[in-house]
Amino acid sequence: MQMTPDIAAQWASRLLSILRIVAALLFLQHGMQKMFGFPVSPPSGLPAMFTLGWFSGAIELVGGVLVLLGLFARPAAFIMSGEMAFGYWIAHAPRSFFPIVNGGDAAVLYCFVFLYIAIAGPGAWAVGAWAVDRARGRAIA
């Protein structure tokens, strides 16, 4: 199926929004699990306040909501990408070189998906100041 450049450009932005929304919903579950024990408590229990696990849960919870809405999606996605890179090297890489063996394949994937969103932006369906600028017809930086 051949797509015209206009249709491809329109759908690229929409699919970027879908990628952002799905990734944020999945990521948000990790934050909810660490912070609230929902939908199931983590195997090691809820992290104590102000520990590394607690901070990662807070980033996943707040960042997940922001990226889901597309509100401050670029800086939130950048922070979340960094959290996943840090988490991979701290928690997964010491177990094995291979992500499939060390359980870090999701962390690697999240890292690069959020890095892409940080660079590409939230896509066509988002809220926030830049969306207001788009609606008014102003250029988006």
Place of tokens 């940080």: 118
Where are the chain's structural domains?
Answer: 5-135
pTM for this prediction: 0.86
Residue 73's CB: how many other CB atoms inside 10 A? 28
Mean residue pLDDT of the chain comes to 90
Residues of the chain under the 50 pLDDT cut: 132, 141
Can you give the pLDDT at residue 134?
59
| Cis bond before residue 5 (omega within 30° of 0) | no
Can you give the pLDDT at residue 127?
83
Contact 115, 81 (CB under 8 A): yes
Q: Where are the alpha helices (DSSP H) in the chain?
A: 5-36, 52-69, 73-87, 99-102, 105-120, 129-135
Per the rule left: phi > 0, alpha: psi between -120 and 50, beta: everything else, 83 is alpha
Can you give the pLDDT at residue 141?
45
Q: Which residues contact 85 (CB under 8 A, 6 or more apart)?
A: 107, 111
Can you give the pLDDT at residue 8?
83
